[in-house]
Amino acid sequence: MLFLSGPRKVASASATASTLSEPPRRTQESRTRTRALGLPTLPMEKPAASTEPQGPRPVLGRESVQVPDDQDFQSFRSECEAEVGWNLTYSKAGVSVWVQAVEMDRTLHKIKCRMECRDVPAETLYDVLHDIEYRKKWDSNVIETFDIARLTVNADVGYYSWRCPKPLKNRDVITLRSWLPMGADYIIMNYSVKHPKYPPRKDLVRAVSIQTGYLIQSTGPKSCVITYLAQVDPKGSLPKWVVNKSSQFLAPKAMKKMYKACLKYPEWKQKHLPHFKPWLHPEQSPLPSLALSELSVQHADSLENIDESAVAESREERMGGAGGEGSDDDTSLT
């Protein structure tokens, strides 16, 4: 079970609107600004071929809360680009989906979804994934999402809940999210943490994001490719129809919906605080600071396990009713 988590709510945007400055130009000027603000940077060129395996750094055994560094971002990028060990389950109209089972737990899969985006610059897609106000216009499966605190200029911690296909229970997570411009490319990724003021809720199932994120790669002035990679423990023994629907239908549909949203974003943003982009300009963020010591890693085995293995797909789902194939609301379980 995977979710398209990206942006979270930034409070009091209107309070800072009067002090917003013109955003800098992208690519090289963005990299200069990034260095000045203390963000890590990665080279625009891909690393030279190595004889050593280029697999991801281990995250399953993470014991302490840390903000990802350059190596973590590069490892995530390498896994997004990897081909070995992935089973292609869907490929149509520029969208492909792969599934990978983890050796230590065959029920805990990774899903990778890639989409070609024509007429969408990489920076536009990056903005859409960050812009919570715009997300409310195109993603109707978000129940509630908000930032809790700021950790660094390119990392925060926040809350995210989303609707799952009926009759499954809805899910939520608390995640540490970080982001990084890499020349003309971008990465956004997260993993689950515990915050003392936001314990699991009785009306939702607390899922665990082991690692989830996006790699956006520019392919031209007005085109890009996005790869969505996620490994999430949904805290439940999910029925086979959920897994199949996730990899073969929901993920592609969610990506296509995101693409349509990107095409409309420039016009929308011009009418809604066009220069307010705290993900590019950290000084615009109104969030309070938080020490990493206030957080701890959210391990799946510390949460209640919800067994939904016997849940059958509803007739409404099979017939394409609300939340089904005939709806645009299938962005939750991807």
Query: How many angstroms separate the CA atoms of 294 and 119, rounded?
Result: 43
CATH fold group of domain 70-303: Alpha-D-Glucose-1,6-Bisphosphate; Chain A, domain 4 (3.30.530)
Query: How many angstroms separate the CA atoms of 86 and 112, rounded?
Result: 9
Average pLDDT for consecutive 10-residue bins of the chain (334 residues)?
Answer: 50 35 37 40 41 42 83 95 91 91 62 95 96 86 90 93 83 94 94 94 90 96 96 71 67 90 97 94 94 90 68 50 37 34
Domain boundaries, the chain: 70-303
Q: What is the pLDDT of residue 104?
A: 47
Q: What is the pLDDT of residue 242?
A: 67
> What's the predicted TM-score (pTM) here?
0.75
The sign one gets for the Cα dihedral 9, 10, 14, 17 is negative
Q: What is the pLDDT of residue 108?
A: 67
Burial status of residue 14 (CB atoms within 10 A of its CB: 0-12, 13-18, 19 or more): exposed
Residue type present at position 51? T
Helices (H) and strands (E) in the chain, counts: 8, 11
DSSP track, 267-296 = HHHHTS-TT--TTT-GGG--PPB--GGG-E
Q: What is the pLDDT of residue 146?
A: 87
Query: How many angstroms separate the CA atoms of 261 and 128, rounded?
Result: 8
Q: Are strands 87-92 and 223-233 parallel, antiparallel or unpaired?
A: unpaired
